[in-house]
Amino acid sequence: MFHKEGHYIITVSFIITAMINLLSKSFINNNTLIYSIGIVTIIILILILQFFRNPKRKAKINDNIIISPVDGKVVAIEKVYEKEYFKDERIQISIFMSPLNVHVTRYASSGKIKFSKYHPGKYLVAWHPKSSEKNERTTVVIENNIFGEILYRQIAGAVARRIVNYAKVGDEVVQGTDAGFIKFGSRVDLFLPLNSKIKVELDQIVKGAEDIIAEK
């Protein structure tokens, strides 16, 4: 199963791959070169298919927990001053996604969308300390019955060039369902209340909609 955000790119990639291989067979007399071109184009196509895969996961809906919004590696757990929305201290958990990870963003909790804003920006590497403030990004706040307001931020990386965000102010969203997509390498930051019980560690590999990030 592939994510809908990848349907166009996948179709175009198939067409381009087929055309390159047909042309190489028609105009190149070197069989080794033809074979090499075929291998390279198929590998690229497989990587694109892998990037846009969308494994179906059904989260156990529970307002007492925050689940991972994405697949990736936990690269930061720290108390920070969140200055865009809360303007106070929060616990920030950052999850880095390599191009090989599933890039679907899922809602970390159920609740009502209170804030949703897109910010154009730079394309620093996603693990850069300033990427949360300088890169292209979206900021979304969900009001949850137990945690109160939680914030997550989709951040484009050095390769990513498009963030898709489905959250609209006033929407009632369900934990674990699709919240968006980040194309080709990225990061997601979660900002939680200081009294949240964090259930992950640095360098831990997490799966979206499955692993628990925090609980009350």
> What pLDDT score does 173 carry?
97
Distance CA 43, CA 37 (A): 10
| CA dist list (Å): 215 to 194, 199, 211 | 12, 7, 11
> What pLDDT score does 159 carry?
57
186 as an active site residue: the answer is: yes
* H or E, element range at 15: helix 7-27
> What pLDDT score does 126 carry?
52
pLDDT, tens digit, 9 for 90 and up, residues 135-183:
788 999 999 999 999 999 998 865 555 788 999 999 999 999 999 988 7
The catalytic position among 13, 110, 186, 196 is 186
Q: What is the mean pLDDT of the chain?
A: 88
pLDDT, tens digit, 9 for 90 and up, residues 80-102:
999 999 999 999 999 998 878 88
User: Confidence class of residue 66 from pLDDT cuts 50, 70 and 90?
Assistant: very high
> What pLDDT score does 152 carry?
97
User: Confidence class of residue 185 from pLDDT cuts 50, 70 and 90?
Assistant: low
User: For residue 195, which of 181, 215, 211 has the smallest C-alpha distance?
Assistant: 215
State CA 116 to chain mean position distance.
16
